[in-house]
Copies of this chain bind each other. A is one copy, B any other.
């Protein structure tokens, strides 16, 4: 391995996700393995601007592999969107002797990283971390698998009370632009209907589906609703609408909210984070950069950051069919 790089920095940016700490740990330990210095940057790009760095070694990342959130904290930085902000960030890195940057985050973070790379020819690598799984170039983002389990367990709990009371529940889950969480949890929790951004089921078909379910003898129902679903109503409006049109149902709403983001990462997310961290550092050490590390066909593979940012994560059509069959 040609290895001229002496020091790498790692930061987390955008919404936090379980597995980010495991990825930080992997970056740090891989640097240690290759005798490279590693700096942790606090509070994402904003911390980079302010020079909020700390030298990290294997001991710094002790006992974090199973912790939710990010020990490096994360923040949105409006200053980094300005040329002046990025200039300051560049100077901070130079001053610190940092020669490459690993950004753990989502779409927006990668866009910022790419812009930074273009302006200063500074090597960057991306590790996709977001529970929404809305990033092109990887079948799984860090935190997504954990969030699926968190949400499916919450819906199992809601099912307990729904079936005790013969109620209908609209459960809102995360997913503004993509329905990965809604679709998978909907299938995994045996939901009666699933509303996702990729498809507008329509109010009529929703009612029809609920009526069919009721007629078939089901006494309780769960409808999973992605935040960004296209039916054009909030979960609270859906409740009112259904109560108006199906008097036989007592309807309740549950908005799962931020608890979906937290928690100890699943084994899958911890392993994926470890694999991605190794690949990110090794790619830099091989003299390459500006890639996102992703999981494609169950293998760790690189996608140019440019493509990752432009591309769109697509919903699994086969799973939509499975969902139709399971909910009929």
Chain B residues in 8 Å Cβ range of A325: 29-30, 33, 278
Chain B residues in 8 Å Cβ range of A68: 157, 160-161
Q: Does A86 contact B (CB under 8 A)?
A: no
Which of A91-99, A239-247, A295-303, A306-314 contacts its partner?
Answer: A295-303
Q: Does A185 contact B (CB under 8 A)?
A: yes
Chain B residues in 8 Å Cβ range of A165: 15-16, 73-75
Shortest Cβ distance from A197 into chain B, in angstroms? 19
Q: Mark A144-166, 1 if CB is under 8 A from B, else 0.
A: 01001111111011111111111
Q: Mark A237-255, 1 if CB is under 8 A from B, else 0.
A: 0000000000000001111
Give the contacts of A285-328 with B (CB-CB under 8 A). Answer: 297-300, 318-319, 321-322, 325-326, 328
Q: Is the CB of A261 within 8 A of B150?
A: no
Q: Does A169 contact B (CB under 8 A)?
A: yes
Q: Mark A63-77, 1 if CB is under 8 A from B, else 0.
A: 101111110011100
Q: Does A121 contact B (CB under 8 A)?
A: no
Contact A152 to B270, CB < 8 A, known contacts A73-B165, A157-B262, A261-B157: yes
- Give CA–CA (A255, B26) in the complex, Å: 28
Which of A107-115, A186-194, A203-211, A226-234 contacts its partner?
Answer: A186-194
Contact A161 to B261, CB < 8 A, known contacts A184-B267, A300-B318: yes
Instruction: Say what secondary structure dominates the interface of chain A.
Output: helix
Q: Is the CB of B254 within 8 A of A160?
A: no
Shortest Cβ distance from A259 into chain B, in angstroms? 4
Give the contacts of A254-295 with B (CB-CB under 8 A). Answer: 254-264, 266-268, 270-271, 274-275, 278
- Give CA–CA (A74, B169) in the complex, Å: 16
The count of chain A contact residues (Cβ–Cβ below 8 Å) is 86
Of the candidates B66, B145, B298, the one whose C-beta lies within 8 Å of that of A156 is B66
Chain B residues in 8 Å Cβ range of A297: 297-298
Q: Does A59 contact B (CB under 8 A)?
A: yes
Q: Does A58 contact B (CB under 8 A)?
A: yes
- Give CA–CA (A88, B98) in the complex, Å: 49
- Give CA–CA (A256, B259) in the complex, Å: 9
- Give CA–CA (A217, B59) in the complex, Å: 9
Q: Does A2 contact B (CB under 8 A)?
A: no
Q: Does A78 contact B (CB under 8 A)?
A: no
Chain B residues in 8 Å Cβ range of A58: 216
Q: Does A139 contact B (CB under 8 A)?
A: yes
